[in-house]
Structure 1
Amino acid sequence: MFQNINNYAARSVSLTVEETALFNEILEYRKVPKKTRLLAAGDICNFEAYVNKGCIREYIIDENGVEVTLQFAIEDWWVSDLASFQDQSPCTMYIETLEDCELLILTRDSKERLLTEVPKLERMFRLMLQRHLTVVQKRLFKTISTTAMEKYLEFINRYPSIPQRVPQHYIASYLGISPEFLSKLRARNLKK
């Protein structure tokens, strides 16, 4: 159950057997069924969750009532509303499972305990945040500077397993296009 997250941590830090055992002890294992809302706009986010198995979607609802997908989180990714978690302020996004999921959860208190007792894990979380910020910056740049076809090709290249796992209208929402236009892009790409 902890092998994946232990491998994740090992890419950033070297933990002793005792530190690894404490890390695993502090994490809360949770099975969550498909189509479960983990967080709703207005809630205070009280978790950071490592996706051990499954697929999760983060989204907002715009002023026209349209769902806009911000991110998909699959195995070996973390999911949370970082601003709400950090500041204990109401969140603006929704987080829901798209598949049956197995999550490893840290609450604010358990994360604080973990970082107090295993301070070197600060490095893992710092690197995680840096990678997340890099992905967000690249996505923002691509959103404003590339064509819909380029965005689609980048998406399937970067996340090859997601198109087989999530409904196409969620991918269209992530790309900022209609499901019909996504179908046209997919057909055009297949002809090449």
Structure 2
Amino acid sequence: MFNSLYKNISRYIQLSETEFEDFSEYFKLHSYKKKDIILHEGEYCLFEGFVLNGCFKVFFLNEQGTEQTLYFAVDNWWITDLDSLINNVPSVLNIEALEDSQVLMISKKDKELLYGVMPLVEKLFRIMNQQSSIALQRRILSLMNKTADKRYLEFLEKYPSLEQRLTQQQVASYLGISHEFLSKIRKKTTLGK
């Protein structure tokens, strides 16, 4: 169960087997059913989660009440609302399980305790937050600078197996377009092959 977490964090820091055992004791396994909401808009986010298996969408409702997907979190991805978690403000995001899923969760309180016992872990979360910021910056630039066709092709290239796990509506929400427009793009893409 913790093997994938170990591989994930080993990209950023090196922990001995004993250190990793100590580290992993701060995480609790949670199972969620499809459609479970693990964070509602207006709540305070008090966790970071590492997805062992399953799929989540992190989304918000715009002023028109339309769902806008910020990102999807699948196996070996992290989920949280960083703004709410770090700044202790109510979340503007919702996190919903799109499949039955298992997540290793660490509470904000336990994460702070872990920083005190294992200072190297603070480096881990700093690097992960930087990587998350880079990914979101690239996503914003893509939304602002690329056509919907290019964003769709980029999505397929970046997440080759994810489209089969999502509805057309979910993919369209992520791309910032209507599902009708996504249908047209898919037809065009299929004809172009």
TM-score by length of 1: 0.97
Deviates more, 1:140-149 or 1:10-19: 10-19
Deviates more, 1:112-121 or 1:73-82: 112-121
Cross-structure match for 1:172: 172
Cross-structure match for 1:162: 162
Cross-structure match for 1:65: 65
- SS for the counterpart of 1:26 is coil
CA distance in structure 2 between the aligned counterparts of 1:116 and 1:18, rounded to whole angstroms: 17
1:7-48 superposed Cα distances (whole Å, 9 cap, x missing partner): 111111111222111111111111111110011111011110
Cross-structure match for 2:5: 5
Structure 2: tracts of 5 or more residues without a match? none
Cross-structure match for 1:135: 135
Aligned runs of 1:47-62 on 2, under 5 Å? 47-62=47-62
In the TM superposition, residue 159 of structure 1 has moved relative to its aligned partner by: 0.9
Using the aligned pairs only, state the percent identity: 38
CA distance in structure 1 between the aligned counterparts of 2:150 and 2:123, rounded to whole angstroms: 34
Cross-structure match for 1:41: 41
CA distance in structure 1 between the aligned counterparts of 2:115 and 2:167, rounded to whole angstroms: 38
Letter in 1 for 2:136: V
1:100-119 superposed Cα distances (whole Å, 9 cap, x missing partner): 11100011111012221111
Q: Please state if 1:112 is matched with 2:137.
A: no
Q: Please state if 1:95 is matched with 2:95.
A: yes
In the TM superposition, residue 173 of structure 1 has moved relative to its aligned partner by: 0.8
CA distance in structure 1 between the aligned counterparts of 2:9 and 2:60, rounded to whole angstroms: 30
- SS for the counterpart of 1:120 is helix
Letter in 2 for 1:111: K
In the TM superposition, residue 58 of structure 1 has moved relative to its aligned partner by: 0.6
CA distance in structure 1 between the aligned counterparts of 2:39 and 2:135, rounded to whole angstroms: 22
Cross-structure match for 1:144: 144
- SS for the counterpart of 1:170 is helix
- SS for the counterpart of 2:46 is coil
Letter in 2 for 1:163: E
Task: Supply the RMSD in Å over aligned alpha carbons.
Answer: 0.9
In the TM superposition, residue 162 of structure 1 has moved relative to its aligned partner by: 1.2
CA distance in structure 2 between the aligned counterparts of 1:10 and 1:138, rounded to whole angstroms: 24
Aligned pairs, how many? Answer: 192
CA distance in structure 2 between the aligned counterparts of 1:119 and 1:6, rounded to whole angstroms: 17
- SS for the counterpart of 1:15 is coil
